[in-house]
Chains A and B, each alone.
Chain A
């Protein structure tokens, strides 16, 4: 079973997921005050301006925190075995919720402060999910 998917129409996050189809990790910044806005919205969370620019991230960052899920009854996750959920701070200044992949044992191979790089997981619908692996 596939993971829960983002659902559309949802105008705030639609451009973000459109960009994932070509494996581009995007975020917004305010043209009025410079604030980085993430998750995507149609206004700046610092000044209320609606003049936001979409930018491409290099996809590199640092694990801010994480947990290794040992028990999830959801059918998409139940068979996975332990997996890591994390907040990653991208170098451009935004924080994303994601999974850490590409480690043999997430219970020992993931740590706060670890450098990671985006790793795209293509979905049936054509979008891709930005997961991260050790850089």
Chain B
């Protein structure tokens, strides 16, 4: 344990989380991970790295293989091939797993007849932690108001908080959270954003999965995008935006003729450009840049009144990568 995580001397416990800052983080490496359930491939040859000190978004539509990947990292699902390492070791080989990785996999994670406090105390026992650690986490996550109640009557937001509390018990340098924003209201999401930022600033490795980019866009530094069990992109949000195809908006009284000409122009990836006639006299062309459009118009003697590069936003990039809009172009 001490080989992968050292408290900084003289550093004080964080008042919000009750946790100690770490000097060196723990990296999570996924290497050529593949999982097939029978003949159905869930994850195929997936490799990526989650770095300490950052919040990494793990994105993809439902069924992309995010949960299966997290479960393989955590030793709950056995990979068909490949492996996942946490600080250089497989999860099952970690000497103190609950104090190395905190994970929240399922918001419906508790016995309805047990109180939140008892639930946390059970897992304190399992991890060999003093039961007062349960009260510390309850305090830090502002759960005191409902910690004594049986979880059967909890709202989704309360369950999410309990799942997060369970993950935080071990004060682990790595946090893996599966869809933690599900069922949270905007205030809850904002709170989670600040909380995860703080955990990352303490040097922890934080991975947050989501199928809704907009919910995690504000809280992540890097993204790993998954679709159909394969890696689509890995990098910063800016890098993600950059992988989208260029697009321009053009105003022309000869829009119809121009559209016909542009349809024959080769794009960088060899597919024909996608042309939307957004308004009378206005075209939006995906796959070509302003230069190509201007040259085509000039070569055909067509009039152009306006030519503007069109910024595809992040959501667009995400949809494009995950195939939801891959399509008509």
A, B assembled together: no
Query: Interface residues, chain A, CB within 8 Å of chain B?
Result: none
Query: Interface residues, chain B, CB within 8 Å of chain A?
Result: none
